[in-house]
Amino acid sequence: MIIRTYILSIILFLTININVLALVIGSDEEEILIDANFAGQDLMVFGAFYADPSQPRDEKGDLLIEVVGPSEDIILRKKKSFLGFWLNAYQVEFRDVPGFYYLSSTSELDNEFLQKNKISILKAKKSSEIDWSSLTTNWGKLNSDTDKKEFHEALVRTKTLENLYKKTHNEIELIDGNLFKTRIHIPNTVPVGKYDVNVYLIIDEKINKEYSYNFTVTRIGIEEAIYNLAFEFPLIYGLISLTIAVITGWSGAELFRRFRKN
């Protein structure tokens, strides 16, 4: 941590002296380990960017930090009432959706800027409106853009409730005008794999510089064994879970029966 801070300081010093725009960034962890006691962790991201000290804050530009987790496929369903029964009427499969997505900026950025620069939980073509045909999504029986937008909003809402999606503009702390830091909460429900951290320096509503690096999330111990069993051998995992449930239920019933006899 201290060594990285020194490196950033040296790079910033050299950058300022040659008077060019530059951006550097790092974090306090390169790997996050998830075990049985993991309840979430804050990842500190810090860095530096060149800005003329004589300029007012509004003219130094803005920072945008994007964290993109491993991709996964997500299925959402919508029920409709049929003869008094609620049945699954529509099903949409979103493919290659980030399992974790975080977006933070030093000032609020409008959706038009984000979509223009392809910065979103769902990548779309450069347009002020989402081009649904550009998304790798199986829309099933849906045809209208209104219904597709409803499912897209449901996807974002579901991810937000699970603490796997966040968009904010007040969590990046600027220090002395050229340094910055922020803390990103990594919940215990995140998928394992490689996470990309993308940082953009925005000047005059245009991305002037960008920098990327990555960190990994890994499961260890019993968590890793259970996770691998569930995803690599789902049938065996299901049978084991069913067996445990039956034994637990039978044991509870037997104890209750004996308790009543006494």
| % of the chain with per-residue pLDDT over 70 | 76
Pairwise pLDDT comparison (42 vs 232), residue with the higher score: 42
What is the structure's pLDDT at 127? Answer: 39
Is the confidence at residue 124, as pLDDT, over 50? Answer: no
In whole angstroms, what is the distance from residue 153 CA to residue 246 CA? 39
User: Residue 68, class by beta-carbon neighbours within 10 Å (0-12 exposed, 13-18 middle, 19+ buried)?
Assistant: buried
Confidence of residue 97 (pLDDT cuts 50, 70, 90): confident
Claim: this prediction has a pTM higher than 0.75: no
Return the pLDDT at 220.
Answer: 78
Mean pLDDT of the chain: 76
The tally of CA atoms less than 13 A away on the side-chain side of residue 211 is 14
Helix, strand or coil, per DSSP, at residue 31: strand
State the pLDDT at residue 19. Answer: 43
Helix, coil or strand: residue 18: helix
pLDDT on residue 195? 92
Q: Which residue has the higher pLDDT, 17 or 64?
A: 64
Q: List pLDDT tens digits, range 23-41.
A: 777 777 888 888 878 888 8
Q: How confident is the model at residue 122 (pLDDT cuts 50, 70, 90)?
A: low
* Location of structure tokens 């496929």: 73
Q: How far apart are CA 154 and CA 70, in angstroms?
A: 20
d(C-alpha 22, C-alpha 201), whole Å: 9
| Confidence at residue 126, expressed as pLDDT on a 0 to 100 scale | 37
According to the model, what pLDDT value does residue 83 have? Answer: 74
At residue 52 the predicted structure's pLDDT band, cuts being 50, 70 and 90, is low
Strands in 31-34's sheet, in edge-to-edge order, are 31-34, 206-219, 193-203, 62-68, 101-105, 165-168
Digit-coded pLDDT (tens) for 153-182: 888 888 888 888 888 888 888 887 678 888
- pLDDT above 90 as % of the chain: 3
Q: What is the residue whose two structure tokens read 């959402």?
A: 76
